[in-house]
Structure 1
Amino acid sequence: MRQIVLDTETTGINPKLGNRVIEIGCVELVDRKLTGNNFHRYINPDRDSEEGALAVHGLTTEFLSDKPRFHEIAAELRDYIQGAEVIIHNAPFDLGFLNHEYRALNMPPFDDYINGVIDTLVQAKELRPGKRNSLDALCDFYGISNAHRKLHGALLDAELLADVYLSMTRGQNSLGMDIEEEQSAGGIELEQVALAEILVVRASGDELAAHEELLNGLDKAMKGTCIWRTPVA
Structure 2
Amino acid sequence: MREIVFDTETTGLSPQNGDRLVEIGCVELYNRVETGRTFHSYFNPGRPMPSEAEAVHGLSDRFLADKPLFGEICEDLLEFIGDSPLIAHNATFDFGFINHELGACGRPTVCVSRMVDTLTLARQRFPGAKHSLDALCTRFGVDRSLRVKHGALIDAQLLAQVYVELTGGRQIGLGLVAEIIETEDPVPGERPGTSETMIVAMIRPPRPHAPSEEELARHAAFVATISDPIWRRVG
The answer for the alignment partner of 1:35 in structure 2 is 35
Q: Secondary structure at the match of 2:173?
A: coil
Question: Which amino acid in 1 is paired with 2:97?
Answer: F
**Matches of 2:27 and 2:105, distance apart in 1:** 25
Matching of residue 22 in structure 1 with residue 44 in structure 2: no
Q: Which stretches in structure 1 are left out of the alignment for 5+ residues?
A: 188-233
Question: Which amino acid in 2 is paired with 1:102?
Answer: L
**Matches of 2:166 and 2:178, distance apart in 1:** 18
**Matches of 1:110 and 1:186, distance apart in 2:** 52
Q: Structure 1 126/60 Cα, relative in aligned 2: closer, same or farther at 3 Å? A: same
Higher share of residues assigned helix: 1
Higher share of residues assigned strand: 2
Deviates more, 1:30-39 or 1:156-165: 30-39
Which 4+ runs in 1 deviate beyond 2 A? 176-187
Q: Structure 1 35/143 Cα, relative in aligned 2: closer, same or farther at 3 Å? A: same
Q: Which stretches in structure 2 are left out of the alignment for 5+ residues?
A: 180-202, 210-235
Instruction: Report the Cα offset of residue 111 of structure 1.
Output: 2.6
**Matches of 2:145 and 2:78, distance apart in 1:** 32
**Matches of 1:26 and 1:72, distance apart in 2:** 17
Instruction: Report the Cα offset of residue 168 of structure 1.
Output: 1.2
Deviates more, 1:176-185 or 1:17-26: 176-185
Matching of residue 122 in structure 1 with residue 144 in structure 2: no
State the TM-score, normalized to the length of structure 1.
Answer: 0.75
**Matches of 1:107 and 1:136, distance apart in 2:** 34
**Per-residue deviation, residues 16-43 of structure 1 (Å, max 9, x unmatched):** 1111000000000011111111000011
Question: Which amino acid in 1 is paired with 2:156?
Answer: A
Instruction: Report the Cα offset of residue 176 of structure 1.
Output: 2.2
Matching of residue 185 in structure 1 with residue 207 in structure 2: yes
RMSD: 1.7
**Matches of 2:177 and 2:146, distance apart in 1:** 27
The answer for the alignment partner of 2:162 in structure 1 is 164
Q: Percent identity?
A: 48
**Per-residue deviation, residues 158-211 of structure 1 (Å, max 9, x unmatched):** 000000001111268221256644344238xxxxxxxxxxxxxxxxxxxxxxxx
Matches for 1:1-233 after TM superposition, within 5 Å: 1-111=1-111, 116-170=114-168, 173-177=172-176, 180=179, 181-186=203-208
State the TM-score, normalized to the length of structure 2.
Answer: 0.75
**Matches of 2:48 and 2:27, distance apart in 1:** 27
**Matches of 1:29 and 1:165, distance apart in 2:** 10
